[in-house]
Chains A and B, each alone.
Chain A
Amino acid sequence: MSDTSTYGLMAEFDSAKELVAAAHKTHEAGYQKIDAYSPFPIEGLAEAIGFHKNRVPLVVLIGGLIGGISAYALQYWVAVITYPVNIGGRPYHSWPSFIIVTFELTILFAGLSAAIGMLVLNGLPMPYHPVFNVPEFAKASDNKFFLVVFSSDPKYDATRTRSFLTGLAPRMVAEVPS
Protein backbone atom coordinates (compact mmCIF):
# COMPACT_ATOMS: atom_id res chain seq x y z
CA MET A 1 0.00 0.00 0.00
CA SER A 2 1.53 3.22 -0.93
CA ASP A 3 0.43 6.49 0.58
CA THR A 4 1.14 9.67 -1.33
CA SER A 5 0.83 12.01 1.63
CA THR A 6 3.62 10.14 3.47
CA TYR A 7 7.24 10.29 2.36
CA GLY A 8 8.25 7.41 4.59
CA LEU A 9 8.98 6.26 8.10
CA MET A 10 11.95 7.44 10.10
CA ALA A 11 13.72 5.67 12.95
CA GLU A 12 16.21 7.40 15.23
CA PHE A 13 19.27 5.68 16.75
CA ASP A 14 21.86 6.63 19.33
CA SER A 15 25.00 5.25 17.75
CA ALA A 16 26.56 4.52 14.40
CA LYS A 17 26.84 0.86 15.31
CA GLU A 18 23.09 0.57 15.96
CA LEU A 19 22.35 2.37 12.71
CA VAL A 20 24.53 0.03 10.66
CA ALA A 21 22.96 -3.01 12.34
CA ALA A 22 19.43 -1.67 11.77
CA ALA A 23 20.22 -0.79 8.16
CA HIS A 24 21.50 -4.32 7.59
CA LYS A 25 18.34 -5.87 9.06
CA THR A 26 16.06 -3.57 7.10
CA HIS A 27 17.84 -4.32 3.87
CA GLU A 28 17.77 -8.04 4.60
CA ALA A 29 14.05 -7.85 5.34
CA GLY A 30 13.59 -6.93 1.69
CA TYR A 31 13.28 -3.17 1.80
CA GLN A 32 15.09 -1.58 -1.12
CA LYS A 33 14.19 2.10 -1.02
CA ILE A 34 15.82 3.09 2.22
CA ASP A 35 18.30 5.76 3.21
CA ALA A 36 20.43 6.50 6.25
CA TYR A 37 21.59 9.82 7.71
CA SER A 38 24.47 10.42 10.10
CA PRO A 39 26.57 13.35 11.34
CA PHE A 40 29.76 11.83 9.91
CA PRO A 41 30.70 9.22 7.29
CA ILE A 42 30.36 5.67 8.59
CA GLU A 43 32.32 2.82 7.12
CA GLY A 44 30.09 0.02 5.87
CA LEU A 45 26.85 2.03 6.01
CA ALA A 46 26.54 2.44 2.25
CA GLU A 47 26.92 -1.32 1.81
CA ALA A 48 24.40 -1.92 4.62
CA ILE A 49 21.61 -0.07 2.82
CA GLY A 50 22.42 -1.91 -0.39
CA PHE A 51 24.11 1.00 -2.10
CA HIS A 52 26.77 -0.42 -4.36
CA LYS A 53 27.53 1.79 -7.28
CA ASN A 54 27.18 5.32 -8.44
CA ARG A 55 27.76 6.89 -11.80
CA VAL A 56 30.27 9.57 -10.78
CA PRO A 57 33.31 7.50 -11.96
CA LEU A 58 31.75 7.12 -15.40
CA VAL A 59 31.10 10.88 -15.60
CA VAL A 60 34.72 11.53 -14.57
CA LEU A 61 36.02 9.11 -17.20
CA ILE A 62 33.97 10.71 -19.96
CA GLY A 63 34.96 14.21 -18.80
CA GLY A 64 38.64 13.23 -18.73
CA LEU A 65 38.49 11.71 -22.21
CA ILE A 66 36.75 14.78 -23.63
CA GLY A 67 39.38 17.03 -22.01
CA GLY A 68 42.30 14.98 -23.30
CA ILE A 69 40.99 14.51 -26.82
CA SER A 70 39.97 18.14 -27.25
CA ALA A 71 43.34 19.38 -25.93
CA TYR A 72 45.26 17.18 -28.35
CA ALA A 73 42.92 18.00 -31.24
CA LEU A 74 43.25 21.73 -30.63
CA GLN A 75 47.05 21.59 -30.59
CA TYR A 76 47.10 19.41 -33.69
CA TRP A 77 44.73 21.76 -35.50
CA VAL A 78 46.77 24.83 -34.58
CA ALA A 79 50.28 23.41 -35.09
CA VAL A 80 49.69 21.25 -38.15
CA ILE A 81 46.67 22.59 -40.05
CA THR A 82 46.00 26.28 -39.54
CA TYR A 83 49.30 27.81 -38.49
CA PRO A 84 52.23 25.47 -39.08
CA VAL A 85 55.55 26.99 -37.97
CA ASN A 86 58.91 25.35 -38.55
CA ILE A 87 60.68 25.34 -35.18
CA GLY A 88 64.27 24.19 -35.50
CA GLY A 89 63.32 21.65 -38.14
CA ARG A 90 61.07 19.67 -35.85
CA PRO A 91 58.00 18.02 -37.35
CA TYR A 92 54.76 19.98 -37.17
CA HIS A 93 53.16 17.08 -35.39
CA SER A 94 55.58 17.14 -32.44
CA TRP A 95 53.54 14.92 -30.15
CA PRO A 96 55.92 14.95 -27.14
CA SER A 97 55.32 18.66 -26.63
CA PHE A 98 51.55 18.16 -26.95
CA ILE A 99 51.45 15.73 -24.04
CA ILE A 100 51.66 18.27 -21.24
CA VAL A 101 48.64 20.31 -22.27
CA THR A 102 46.75 17.10 -23.04
CA PHE A 103 47.51 15.81 -19.55
CA GLU A 104 46.56 19.07 -17.83
CA LEU A 105 43.26 19.39 -19.65
CA THR A 106 42.43 15.75 -18.94
CA ILE A 107 42.89 16.45 -15.23
CA LEU A 108 40.97 19.74 -15.38
CA PHE A 109 37.97 18.26 -17.18
CA ALA A 110 37.98 15.13 -15.02
CA GLY A 111 38.10 17.23 -11.85
CA LEU A 112 35.30 19.54 -12.95
CA SER A 113 33.23 16.53 -14.06
CA ALA A 114 33.72 14.95 -10.65
CA ALA A 115 32.49 18.04 -8.81
CA ILE A 116 29.60 18.86 -11.15
CA GLY A 117 28.65 15.21 -11.68
CA MET A 118 28.48 14.64 -7.93
CA LEU A 119 26.20 17.65 -7.45
CA VAL A 120 23.90 16.79 -10.35
CA LEU A 121 23.61 13.08 -9.52
CA ASN A 122 22.84 13.96 -5.90
CA GLY A 123 20.12 16.31 -7.08
CA LEU A 124 21.85 19.26 -5.46
CA PRO A 125 21.16 22.05 -4.76
CA MET A 126 17.93 20.88 -3.14
CA PRO A 127 16.06 23.61 -1.26
CA TYR A 128 13.33 21.32 0.11
CA HIS A 129 13.48 17.79 1.47
CA PRO A 130 10.67 16.06 3.35
CA VAL A 131 12.90 14.56 6.09
CA PHE A 132 13.28 18.02 7.59
CA ASN A 133 9.57 17.95 8.43
CA VAL A 134 10.47 15.74 11.39
CA PRO A 135 11.76 18.11 14.12
CA GLU A 136 14.12 15.51 15.64
CA PHE A 137 15.95 15.25 12.32
CA ALA A 138 17.84 18.44 13.11
CA LYS A 139 20.08 16.26 15.28
CA ALA A 140 21.27 14.33 12.19
CA SER A 141 24.01 16.93 11.92
CA ASP A 142 24.80 16.67 15.62
CA ASN A 143 24.79 13.34 17.43
CA LYS A 144 21.87 11.20 16.25
CA PHE A 145 21.56 8.60 13.51
CA PHE A 146 18.51 8.11 11.29
CA LEU A 147 17.13 5.42 9.01
CA VAL A 148 14.27 6.15 6.61
CA VAL A 149 12.13 3.66 4.69
CA PHE A 150 10.47 5.41 1.76
CA SER A 151 6.77 4.96 1.12
CA SER A 152 7.63 4.28 -2.53
CA ASP A 153 9.17 0.95 -1.51
CA PRO A 154 7.04 -1.93 -2.87
CA LYS A 155 7.15 -3.63 0.52
CA TYR A 156 6.11 -0.47 2.38
CA ASP A 157 3.03 -0.72 4.56
CA ALA A 158 2.25 2.00 7.11
CA THR A 159 1.50 -0.33 10.02
CA ARG A 160 3.72 -3.31 9.26
CA THR A 161 6.75 -1.22 8.43
CA ARG A 162 6.23 0.79 11.58
CA SER A 163 6.14 -2.32 13.73
CA PHE A 164 9.20 -3.69 11.92
CA LEU A 165 11.16 -0.51 12.64
CA THR A 166 9.99 -0.49 16.25
CA GLY A 167 11.36 -4.02 16.50
CA LEU A 168 14.84 -2.63 15.77
CA ALA A 169 14.75 -0.82 19.15
CA PRO A 170 15.19 2.76 17.97
CA ARG A 171 14.76 5.81 20.19
CA MET A 172 11.63 6.67 18.25
CA VAL A 173 9.82 6.04 14.99
CA ALA A 174 8.19 8.97 13.21
CA GLU A 175 6.15 9.38 10.07
CA VAL A 176 7.73 11.72 7.51
CA PRO A 177 5.08 13.88 5.80
CA SER A 178 5.91 14.60 2.19
Chain B
Amino acid sequence: MTTATMNKSDLMAPPVVQTMQQRSLIIGAIAAVASVAGAFLAPGSFYSAYLTGFMFWLGLSLGCMAILMLYHLVGGAWGTVIRRILESGMMTIPLMFVLFIPILLHLPKLYFWARPGLTDPKIVEIAHSYLNFNGILLRYILYFAIWIGMAYFLNRWSTEQDSIAGQSTLRFRALSSIGLVIYSLTISFAVIDWVMSLQARWISTIYGLLFIAGEALSAFCFAVVIEGILGKRKPMSQYLTDTEVHDHGKFMLAFVMVWAYFNFSQWLIIWAGNLPEEIPWYMRRLNGGWEAVGLFLVVFHFAVPFALLLSRQLKRKARTLVWLASWLIFMRIVDIFWHVEPASHPTFHVSWVHFTIIAGIGGLWMAYFFHNLRSRPLLPVNAPQTLRLLEPSHE
Protein backbone atom coordinates (compact mmCIF):
# COMPACT_ATOMS: atom_id res chain seq x y z
CA MET B 1 0.00 0.00 0.00
CA THR B 2 1.76 3.10 -1.21
CA THR B 3 -0.82 5.38 0.22
CA ALA B 4 1.38 7.98 1.81
CA THR B 5 0.76 9.95 -1.36
CA MET B 6 -3.03 9.59 -1.16
CA ASN B 7 -5.00 12.77 -0.85
CA LYS B 8 -8.58 13.89 -0.87
CA SER B 9 -9.24 13.52 -4.58
CA ASP B 10 -7.76 10.01 -4.64
CA LEU B 11 -10.22 8.96 -1.96
CA MET B 12 -13.39 10.19 -3.66
CA ALA B 13 -16.04 7.58 -4.44
CA PRO B 14 -15.80 6.00 -7.93
CA PRO B 15 -18.18 7.11 -10.74
CA VAL B 16 -20.30 3.99 -10.26
CA VAL B 17 -21.77 5.66 -7.16
CA GLN B 18 -23.27 8.41 -9.28
CA THR B 19 -24.76 5.86 -11.66
CA MET B 20 -26.25 3.96 -8.72
CA GLN B 21 -27.64 7.19 -7.31
CA GLN B 22 -29.46 7.97 -10.56
CA ARG B 23 -30.81 4.43 -10.89
CA SER B 24 -31.97 4.38 -7.26
CA LEU B 25 -33.76 7.67 -7.79
CA ILE B 26 -35.53 6.40 -10.91
CA ILE B 27 -36.58 3.13 -9.25
CA GLY B 28 -37.59 5.02 -6.12
CA ALA B 29 -39.65 7.58 -8.04
CA ILE B 30 -41.51 4.96 -10.12
CA ALA B 31 -42.18 2.75 -7.10
CA ALA B 32 -43.26 5.77 -5.04
CA VAL B 33 -45.80 6.78 -7.69
CA ALA B 34 -47.07 3.18 -7.80
CA SER B 35 -47.30 3.19 -3.99
CA VAL B 36 -49.34 6.39 -3.97
CA ALA B 37 -51.67 4.74 -6.47
CA GLY B 38 -51.70 1.76 -4.11
CA ALA B 39 -53.01 3.95 -1.32
CA PHE B 40 -56.18 4.37 -3.38
CA LEU B 41 -56.31 1.02 -5.21
CA ALA B 42 -55.45 -1.19 -2.22
CA PRO B 43 -56.24 0.84 0.88
CA GLY B 44 -56.67 -2.32 2.94
CA SER B 45 -53.06 -3.30 2.38
CA PHE B 46 -51.38 0.05 2.08
CA TYR B 47 -50.94 1.28 5.64
CA SER B 48 -49.50 -1.82 7.26
CA ALA B 49 -47.25 -2.29 4.23
CA TYR B 50 -46.13 1.30 4.62
CA LEU B 51 -45.31 0.76 8.29
CA THR B 52 -43.23 -2.31 7.37
CA GLY B 53 -41.27 -0.35 4.76
CA PHE B 54 -40.85 2.64 7.05
CA MET B 55 -39.62 0.57 10.00
CA PHE B 56 -37.12 -1.32 7.86
CA TRP B 57 -35.49 1.72 6.24
CA LEU B 58 -35.58 3.74 9.44
CA GLY B 59 -33.90 0.77 11.14
CA LEU B 60 -31.14 0.85 8.58
CA SER B 61 -30.50 4.57 9.17
CA LEU B 62 -30.48 4.11 12.94
CA GLY B 63 -28.44 0.92 12.74
CA CYS B 64 -25.76 2.82 10.81
CA MET B 65 -25.76 5.47 13.54
CA ALA B 66 -25.50 2.90 16.33
CA ILE B 67 -22.64 1.00 14.68
CA LEU B 68 -20.84 4.29 14.02
CA MET B 69 -21.14 5.17 17.71
CA LEU B 70 -19.90 1.73 18.66
CA TYR B 71 -16.91 2.28 16.38
CA HIS B 72 -16.11 5.65 17.95
CA LEU B 73 -16.07 3.97 21.34
CA VAL B 74 -14.06 0.83 20.59
CA GLY B 75 -12.13 1.76 17.43
CA GLY B 76 -10.63 -0.72 14.99
CA ALA B 77 -9.84 -0.87 11.29
CA TRP B 78 -13.14 -2.68 10.65
CA GLY B 79 -14.94 0.59 11.36
CA THR B 80 -12.51 2.96 9.69
CA VAL B 81 -13.08 1.32 6.31
CA ILE B 82 -16.89 1.56 6.51
CA ARG B 83 -17.11 4.77 8.51
CA ARG B 84 -18.21 6.97 5.62
CA ILE B 85 -20.72 4.34 4.51
CA LEU B 86 -22.26 4.37 8.00
CA GLU B 87 -22.25 8.17 8.14
CA SER B 88 -23.91 8.43 4.74
CA GLY B 89 -26.54 5.91 5.83
CA MET B 90 -27.12 7.71 9.10
CA MET B 91 -27.64 11.05 7.35
CA THR B 92 -30.80 9.71 5.69
CA ILE B 93 -32.70 10.11 8.98
CA PRO B 94 -34.24 13.46 7.85
CA LEU B 95 -35.85 11.58 4.92
CA MET B 96 -37.39 9.13 7.36
CA PHE B 97 -38.62 12.06 9.43
CA VAL B 98 -40.66 13.26 6.45
CA LEU B 99 -41.80 9.75 5.56
CA PHE B 100 -43.45 9.26 8.95
CA ILE B 101 -46.07 11.90 8.16
CA PRO B 102 -48.40 9.53 6.23
CA ILE B 103 -48.50 7.24 9.28
CA LEU B 104 -49.14 10.17 11.60
CA LEU B 105 -52.05 11.36 9.49
CA HIS B 106 -53.69 7.93 9.31
CA LEU B 107 -53.26 6.50 12.78
CA PRO B 108 -56.77 4.93 12.93
CA LYS B 109 -55.97 2.87 9.82
CA LEU B 110 -53.23 1.06 11.74
CA TYR B 111 -53.78 1.36 15.47
CA PHE B 112 -56.86 0.11 17.30
CA TRP B 113 -56.34 2.67 20.08
CA ALA B 114 -56.79 5.54 17.65
CA ARG B 115 -60.21 4.30 16.52
CA PRO B 116 -63.42 5.52 18.08
CA GLY B 117 -65.61 3.30 20.22
CA LEU B 118 -63.07 1.82 22.63
CA THR B 119 -64.79 -0.11 25.41
CA ASP B 120 -62.09 -1.81 27.49
CA PRO B 121 -61.54 0.64 30.39
CA LYS B 122 -57.82 -0.14 30.58
CA ILE B 123 -57.34 0.68 26.89
CA VAL B 124 -59.49 3.80 27.20
CA GLU B 125 -57.20 4.96 29.96
CA ILE B 126 -54.04 4.30 27.91
CA ALA B 127 -55.54 5.93 24.83
CA HIS B 128 -56.44 8.92 26.93
CA SER B 129 -53.08 9.37 28.63
CA TYR B 130 -50.35 8.07 26.35
CA LEU B 131 -51.31 6.48 23.05
CA ASN B 132 -53.14 9.26 21.23
CA PHE B 133 -52.48 11.63 18.35
CA ASN B 134 -50.90 14.36 20.45
CA GLY B 135 -48.70 11.92 22.31
CA ILE B 136 -47.53 10.25 19.11
CA LEU B 137 -46.89 13.62 17.45
CA LEU B 138 -44.93 14.95 20.41
CA ARG B 139 -42.80 11.86 20.85
CA TYR B 140 -42.23 11.51 17.08
CA ILE B 141 -40.79 15.03 17.01
CA LEU B 142 -38.73 14.33 20.12
CA TYR B 143 -37.24 11.06 18.83
CA PHE B 144 -36.32 12.53 15.49
CA ALA B 145 -34.94 15.73 17.00
CA ILE B 146 -32.61 13.61 19.14
CA TRP B 147 -31.60 11.28 16.31
CA ILE B 148 -31.06 14.04 13.77
CA GLY B 149 -29.15 16.08 16.34
CA MET B 150 -26.74 13.28 17.19
CA ALA B 151 -26.30 12.31 13.54
CA TYR B 152 -25.73 15.93 12.55
CA PHE B 153 -22.86 16.46 14.99
CA LEU B 154 -21.15 13.12 14.37
CA ASN B 155 -21.31 13.85 10.66
CA ARG B 156 -20.19 17.47 10.82
CA TRP B 157 -17.20 16.69 13.02
CA SER B 158 -16.28 13.91 10.61
CA THR B 159 -16.38 16.36 7.68
CA GLU B 160 -14.07 18.66 9.62
CA GLN B 161 -11.55 15.83 9.77
CA ASP B 162 -11.17 16.11 6.00
CA SER B 163 -9.63 19.54 6.24
CA ILE B 164 -8.23 19.97 9.76
CA ALA B 165 -5.42 17.68 10.90
CA GLY B 166 -4.40 16.76 14.42
CA GLN B 167 -7.79 17.21 16.11
CA SER B 168 -8.70 15.24 19.20
CA THR B 169 -11.28 12.48 18.78
CA LEU B 170 -12.57 12.98 22.31
CA ARG B 171 -15.81 14.69 21.25
CA PHE B 172 -16.75 11.71 19.05
CA ARG B 173 -16.28 9.37 21.98
CA ALA B 174 -18.11 11.62 24.41
CA LEU B 175 -21.18 11.94 22.17
CA SER B 176 -21.12 8.25 21.22
CA SER B 177 -21.01 6.97 24.78
CA ILE B 178 -24.05 8.94 25.88
CA GLY B 179 -25.53 8.59 22.38
CA LEU B 180 -25.73 4.80 22.50
CA VAL B 181 -27.67 4.98 25.76
CA ILE B 182 -30.01 7.61 24.31
CA TYR B 183 -30.45 5.59 21.12
CA SER B 184 -31.36 2.43 23.05
CA LEU B 185 -33.97 4.29 25.07
CA THR B 186 -35.48 6.31 22.22
CA ILE B 187 -35.75 3.35 19.84
CA SER B 188 -37.36 1.27 22.60
CA PHE B 189 -39.99 3.94 23.17
CA ALA B 190 -40.41 4.46 19.44
CA VAL B 191 -41.11 0.79 18.69
CA ILE B 192 -43.55 0.68 21.59
CA ASP B 193 -45.41 3.59 19.98
CA TRP B 194 -45.25 2.40 16.39
CA VAL B 195 -45.09 -1.40 16.40
CA MET B 196 -45.79 -2.95 19.80
CA SER B 197 -48.99 -0.94 20.25
CA LEU B 198 -50.45 -2.65 17.17
CA GLN B 199 -51.46 -5.50 19.49
CA ALA B 200 -54.01 -4.68 22.16
CA ARG B 201 -52.94 -5.12 25.79
CA TRP B 202 -49.70 -6.82 24.92
CA ILE B 203 -46.37 -5.88 26.43
CA SER B 204 -42.89 -7.31 26.10
CA THR B 205 -40.01 -5.73 27.96
CA ILE B 206 -37.45 -7.06 25.48
CA TYR B 207 -39.26 -5.61 22.46
CA GLY B 208 -36.91 -2.67 21.91
CA LEU B 209 -33.90 -4.97 22.00
CA LEU B 210 -35.36 -7.10 19.20
CA PHE B 211 -35.23 -4.02 17.02
CA ILE B 212 -31.82 -2.86 18.25
CA ALA B 213 -30.29 -6.24 17.34
CA GLY B 214 -32.09 -6.30 14.01
CA GLU B 215 -31.05 -2.76 13.11
CA ALA B 216 -27.40 -3.45 13.91
CA LEU B 217 -27.56 -6.58 11.75
CA SER B 218 -29.19 -4.62 8.89
CA ALA B 219 -26.48 -1.97 9.07
CA PHE B 220 -23.62 -4.48 8.93
CA CYS B 221 -25.21 -6.37 6.05
CA PHE B 222 -25.75 -3.10 4.23
CA ALA B 223 -22.12 -2.08 4.74
CA VAL B 224 -20.98 -5.44 3.37
CA VAL B 225 -23.19 -5.05 0.29
CA ILE B 226 -21.73 -1.58 -0.39
CA GLU B 227 -18.25 -3.06 0.11
CA GLY B 228 -19.16 -5.62 -2.53
CA ILE B 229 -19.80 -2.78 -4.98
CA LEU B 230 -16.90 -0.51 -4.03
CA GLY B 231 -14.33 -3.05 -2.83
CA LYS B 232 -13.18 -3.99 -6.31
CA ARG B 233 -12.73 -0.38 -7.40
CA LYS B 234 -10.33 2.34 -6.40
CA PRO B 235 -9.97 3.79 -3.87
CA MET B 236 -11.51 1.14 -1.62
CA SER B 237 -9.58 -1.70 -3.27
CA GLN B 238 -6.40 -0.05 -1.96
CA TYR B 239 -7.27 -0.21 1.70
CA LEU B 240 -9.98 -2.84 2.16
CA THR B 241 -8.38 -6.19 3.04
CA ASP B 242 -9.82 -9.62 3.76
CA THR B 243 -9.15 -9.03 7.44
CA GLU B 244 -11.71 -6.22 7.64
CA VAL B 245 -14.24 -8.17 5.59
CA HIS B 246 -13.68 -11.06 7.99
CA ASP B 247 -14.44 -8.73 10.92
CA HIS B 248 -17.69 -7.62 9.29
CA GLY B 249 -18.61 -11.27 8.81
CA LYS B 250 -17.95 -11.91 12.49
CA PHE B 251 -20.20 -9.00 13.43
CA MET B 252 -22.93 -10.43 11.17
CA LEU B 253 -22.62 -13.78 12.94
CA ALA B 254 -22.73 -12.08 16.33
CA PHE B 255 -25.86 -10.08 15.52
CA VAL B 256 -27.60 -13.06 13.90
CA MET B 257 -27.05 -14.83 17.21
CA VAL B 258 -28.11 -11.84 19.33
CA TRP B 259 -31.27 -11.49 17.26
CA ALA B 260 -32.09 -15.16 17.80
CA TYR B 261 -31.20 -14.94 21.48
CA PHE B 262 -33.54 -11.99 22.15
CA ASN B 263 -36.36 -13.53 20.13
CA PHE B 264 -35.97 -16.85 21.86
CA SER B 265 -35.91 -15.16 25.29
CA GLN B 266 -39.22 -13.47 24.56
CA TRP B 267 -40.74 -16.66 23.17
CA LEU B 268 -39.55 -18.89 26.03
CA ILE B 269 -40.86 -16.62 28.77
CA ILE B 270 -44.25 -16.20 27.11
CA TRP B 271 -44.47 -19.90 26.27
CA ALA B 272 -43.53 -20.95 29.81
CA GLY B 273 -45.83 -18.40 31.46
CA ASN B 274 -48.72 -19.28 29.15
CA LEU B 275 -50.73 -16.28 30.38
CA PRO B 276 -53.85 -15.05 28.58
CA GLU B 277 -52.60 -11.46 28.26
CA GLU B 278 -49.22 -12.50 26.85
CA ILE B 279 -49.91 -15.28 24.38
CA PRO B 280 -52.27 -13.47 21.93
CA TRP B 281 -49.30 -11.86 20.16
CA TYR B 282 -47.87 -15.28 19.33
CA MET B 283 -51.30 -16.81 18.71
CA ARG B 284 -51.82 -14.18 16.03
CA ARG B 285 -48.42 -14.84 14.48
CA LEU B 286 -48.50 -18.63 14.69
CA ASN B 287 -51.88 -19.17 13.07
CA GLY B 288 -53.58 -18.46 9.77
CA GLY B 289 -50.49 -19.06 7.65
CA TRP B 290 -48.31 -16.76 9.69
CA GLU B 291 -46.70 -19.79 11.34
CA ALA B 292 -45.03 -20.57 8.01
CA VAL B 293 -43.46 -17.09 8.02
CA GLY B 294 -42.34 -17.63 11.61
CA LEU B 295 -40.72 -20.94 10.74
CA PHE B 296 -39.13 -19.35 7.68
CA LEU B 297 -37.58 -16.74 10.00
CA VAL B 298 -36.20 -19.36 12.39
CA VAL B 299 -34.59 -21.29 9.54
CA PHE B 300 -33.44 -18.50 7.22
CA HIS B 301 -32.91 -15.56 9.56
CA PHE B 302 -31.08 -17.72 12.08
CA ALA B 303 -30.23 -21.38 11.46
CA VAL B 304 -28.91 -21.31 7.89
CA PRO B 305 -27.05 -17.95 8.10
CA PHE B 306 -25.63 -19.03 11.46
CA ALA B 307 -24.27 -22.29 10.05
CA LEU B 308 -22.87 -20.57 6.96
CA LEU B 309 -21.26 -17.75 8.95
CA LEU B 310 -19.27 -20.28 10.98
CA SER B 311 -17.11 -20.78 7.88
CA ARG B 312 -13.93 -18.74 7.90
CA GLN B 313 -13.55 -18.81 4.10
CA LEU B 314 -17.05 -17.43 3.56
CA LYS B 315 -16.50 -14.54 5.97
CA ARG B 316 -13.15 -13.55 4.51
CA LYS B 317 -14.27 -12.96 0.93
CA ALA B 318 -16.44 -9.94 0.20
CA ARG B 319 -17.58 -11.76 -2.97
CA THR B 320 -19.31 -14.56 -1.05
CA LEU B 321 -20.27 -12.58 2.02
CA VAL B 322 -22.23 -10.09 -0.12
CA TRP B 323 -24.75 -12.78 -1.09
CA LEU B 324 -25.43 -13.75 2.49
CA ALA B 325 -25.63 -10.09 3.53
CA SER B 326 -28.21 -9.41 0.78
CA TRP B 327 -30.20 -12.40 1.91
CA LEU B 328 -30.17 -11.24 5.53
CA ILE B 329 -31.38 -7.78 4.48
CA PHE B 330 -34.32 -9.50 2.81
CA MET B 331 -34.92 -11.51 5.98
CA ARG B 332 -34.86 -8.30 8.03
CA ILE B 333 -37.82 -7.10 5.95
CA VAL B 334 -39.60 -10.44 6.43
CA ASP B 335 -39.04 -10.16 10.19
CA ILE B 336 -40.60 -6.70 10.40
CA PHE B 337 -43.40 -7.84 8.06
CA TRP B 338 -44.14 -10.69 10.51
CA HIS B 339 -44.29 -8.20 13.38
CA VAL B 340 -46.53 -5.67 11.63
CA GLU B 341 -48.78 -7.38 9.12
CA PRO B 342 -50.60 -9.98 11.29
CA ALA B 343 -52.04 -7.10 13.34
CA SER B 344 -54.13 -6.04 10.32
CA HIS B 345 -54.65 -9.43 8.69
CA PRO B 346 -55.35 -12.56 10.76
CA THR B 347 -54.51 -14.79 7.81
CA PHE B 348 -51.40 -14.59 5.63
CA HIS B 349 -51.56 -11.56 3.43
CA VAL B 350 -49.07 -9.94 1.12
CA SER B 351 -49.92 -7.49 -1.59
CA TRP B 352 -48.18 -5.76 -4.47
CA VAL B 353 -48.03 -2.52 -2.47
CA HIS B 354 -45.58 -4.21 -0.08
CA PHE B 355 -43.11 -4.46 -2.92
CA THR B 356 -43.70 -0.99 -4.34
CA ILE B 357 -43.44 0.63 -0.90
CA ILE B 358 -40.23 -1.15 0.07
CA ALA B 359 -38.73 -0.29 -3.32
CA GLY B 360 -40.13 3.24 -3.23
CA ILE B 361 -38.82 4.22 0.19
CA GLY B 362 -35.71 2.18 -0.53
CA GLY B 363 -35.00 3.88 -3.86
CA LEU B 364 -35.28 7.33 -2.33
CA TRP B 365 -33.22 6.22 0.68
CA MET B 366 -30.49 4.74 -1.51
CA ALA B 367 -30.37 7.80 -3.76
CA TYR B 368 -29.96 10.02 -0.70
CA PHE B 369 -27.33 7.62 0.67
CA PHE B 370 -25.29 7.59 -2.55
CA HIS B 371 -25.56 11.36 -2.74
CA ASN B 372 -24.09 11.61 0.77
CA LEU B 373 -21.40 9.06 0.00
CA ARG B 374 -20.34 10.89 -3.15
CA SER B 375 -20.02 14.29 -1.51
CA ARG B 376 -16.93 13.43 0.55
CA PRO B 377 -13.81 11.23 0.42
CA LEU B 378 -14.47 7.59 1.34
CA LEU B 379 -12.23 8.00 4.39
CA PRO B 380 -11.99 11.02 6.71
CA VAL B 381 -8.66 12.19 5.32
CA ASN B 382 -7.04 13.57 8.46
CA ALA B 383 -8.59 11.31 11.07
CA PRO B 384 -5.89 9.54 13.09
CA GLN B 385 -7.57 6.20 12.38
CA THR B 386 -7.30 6.82 8.64
CA LEU B 387 -3.61 7.63 8.93
CA ARG B 388 -3.05 4.40 10.86
CA LEU B 389 -5.01 2.43 8.28
CA LEU B 390 -3.07 3.82 5.35
CA GLU B 391 0.41 3.35 6.72
CA PRO B 392 2.17 0.22 5.43
CA SER B 393 1.38 -2.64 7.76
CA HIS B 394 4.46 -4.85 7.68
CA GLU B 395 7.02 -2.51 9.20
Contacts and interface: CB of A to CB of B under 8 A. Distances in A.
Interface residues of B, number: 11
Interface string B254-270: 00000000001001100
A71 interface: no
B394 A99 contact: no
Contact of B395 (A17, A88, A90, A96): A17
B1 interface: no
Contacts of B394: 15-17, 20, 42-44
B272 interface: yes
B274 A88 contact: yes
Contacts of A15: 394-395
A15 B392 CA distance: 13
Contacts of B268: 96-97, 99-100
B390 to A, nearest CB: 16
B393 A43 contact: yes
Contact of A16 (B271, B274, B312, B395): B395
B312 A99 contact: no
A57 B268 CA distance: 31
B167 interface: no
Contacts of A99: 264, 268
B272 A96 contact: yes
B243 interface: yes
A149 to B, nearest CB: 22
Nearest to A87: B272
Interface in B132-160: none
Contacts of A96: 267-268, 271-272
A57 B274 contact: no
A57 B272 contact: no
A129 to B, nearest CB: 26
A88 B271 CA distance: 12
Interface string A73-99: 000000000000000101000001101
Contacts of B267: 96
Contacts of A57: 312
15 contacts: A15-B394, A16-B394, A17-B394, A42-B394, A43-B243, A44-B394, A57-B312, A88-B274, A90-B274, A96-B267, A96-B271, A96-B272, A99-B264, A99-B268, A100-B268
Interface of B: 243, 264, 267-268, 271-272, 274, 312, 393-395
Given A96-B268, A97-B268, 6 more contacts: A17-B394, A43-B243, A43-B394, A57-B312, A88-B274, A90-B274
